[in-house]
A and B are shown apart, each in its own frame.
Chain A
Amino acid sequence: MTRPIIQLQDVQKYFGDYHALRGINAEIAEGEFFSLLGPSGCGKTTLLRVIAGFEDVSAGRVLIDGKPMEGVPANRRPTNMVFQSYAIFPHLSVAGNVGFGLRRAGLTADEMGRRVDEALEMVGLAGFGRRAAHALSGGQRQRVALARALILKPRVLLLDEPLSALDKKLREQMQVELIKLQRQVGITFILVTHDQEEALVMSDRIAVMFDGEIAQMDDPEILYRRPKSRRVADFIGVMNFLPAEVLSETGDRIEIEVAGLGRAEISADQAPRGGGGQAPSVGFRPETLTILYEGQQANHREARAVVEEVVYYGDMTYYDVRLQGTEKPVRLSMRNVFGREVLPIGTETRIAWSPGALVLFR
Chain B
Amino acid sequence: MKGGWLKIYALAYLLFLYAPIALLPVFAFNDGTIIAFPLRGFTLEWFAELGRIEALHGAVLNSLVIAVSTAVLATVLGICAARSAARYDYPGKRGVMGFIMLPLVLPEIIVAVSLLVVLLQLGLSLGAWSVILGHVLICTPFSIAILNSAFQNLDRSLEEAAVDLGETPWSTFRLITLPLVMPGIISSLLISFTISLDEFIIAFFLTGAEPTLPVYLWGQLRFPQKIPVVMALGTILVALSILLLTTAEYFRRRGVARAGGKDTGGFL
Contacts and interface: CB of A to CB of B under 8 A. Distances in A.
Nearest to A83: B157
Contacts of B158: 87, 89-90
A84 B161 CA distance: 11
A96 B179 CA distance: 14
B159 to A, nearest CB: 9
22 contacts: A54-B163, A73-B163, A75-B163, A75-B164, A75-B166, A75-B167, A79-B164, A80-B165, A83-B157, A83-B161, A87-B157, A89-B161, A90-B258, A91-B179, A100-B162, A100-B165, A103-B167, A104-B166, A134-B260, A149-B165, A152-B165, A152-B166
Contact of A85 (B155, B164, B167): B155
Nearest to A145: B161
B64 interface: no
B176 interface: yes
A149 B180 CA distance: 21
B49 interface: no
A101 interface: yes
A75 B159 CA distance: 11
Contact of A87 (B161, B166, B179, B259): B161
A133 B163 CA distance: 19
Interface of A: 52, 54, 73-76, 79-81, 83-85, 87, 89-91, 100-101, 103-104, 134, 148-149, 152
B260 A74 contact: no
A52 B258 CA distance: 28
B220 interface: no
A239 to B, nearest CB: 36
Nearest to B165: A101
Contacts of A75: 163-168
Contacts of A91: 179-180, 258
A80 B155 CA distance: 18
B9 to A, nearest CB: 40
A74 B162 CA distance: 10
A52 B164 contact: yes
B213 to A, nearest CB: 37
Interface residues of B, number: 18
Nearest to B158: A87
B160 interface: yes
A194 to B, nearest CB: 18
Interface of B: 155, 157-158, 160-168, 176, 179-180, 258-260
Nearest to B167: A75
A283 B165 CA distance: 46
Contacts of A54: 160, 163-164
Contacts of A79: 164
The 8 closest A-B CB pairs, nearest first, are A101-B165, A87-B161, A87-B157, A83-B157, A74-B163, A81-B164, A75-B163, A75-B166
Contacts of A148: 161, 165
Contacts, number: 60
Contacts of B259: 90
A85 B159 CA distance: 12
A90 B179 CA distance: 10
A134 B261 CA distance: 12
Contacts of A104: 166-167
A162 to B, nearest CB: 13
Contacts of B161: 81, 83, 87, 89, 148
Q: Which of B160, B166, B180, B260 has the most CB of A within 10 A?
A: B166
Given A75-B168, A90-B259, A90-B260, A85 B163 contact: no
A89 B176 contact: yes
Given A74-B160, A83-B157, A134-B258, 7 more contacts: A52-B164, A74-B163, A75-B166, A85-B155, A87-B155, A87-B160, A149-B164
B91 to A, nearest CB: 12
Nearest to B154: A90
Contacts of A101: 165-166
A100 B157 CA distance: 15
Contacts of A134: 258, 260
Contact of B157 (A73, A76, A85, A90): A85
A80 B164 contact: yes
A103 B167 CA distance: 9
Nearest to B172: A75
Contacts of A152: 165-166
A87 B259 CA distance: 11
Contacts of B157: 83-85, 87
Nearest to A134: B260
A82 to B, nearest CB: 9
A52 B163 CA distance: 10
A91 B259 CA distance: 9
B86 to A, nearest CB: 17
Contacts of B166: 75-76, 101, 103-104, 152
A244 to B, nearest CB: 48
B166 to A, nearest CB: 5
Contacts of A90: 158, 180, 258-260
Q: Which of A73, A83, A87 has the most CB of B within 10 A?
A: A87
Q: Which of A75, A80, A103 has the most CB of B within 10 A?
A: A75
A256 to B, nearest CB: 50
A74 B155 contact: no
Q: Which of A73, A74, A103, A148 has the most CB of B within 10 A?
A: A74
A69 B161 CA distance: 19
A73 B176 CA distance: 18
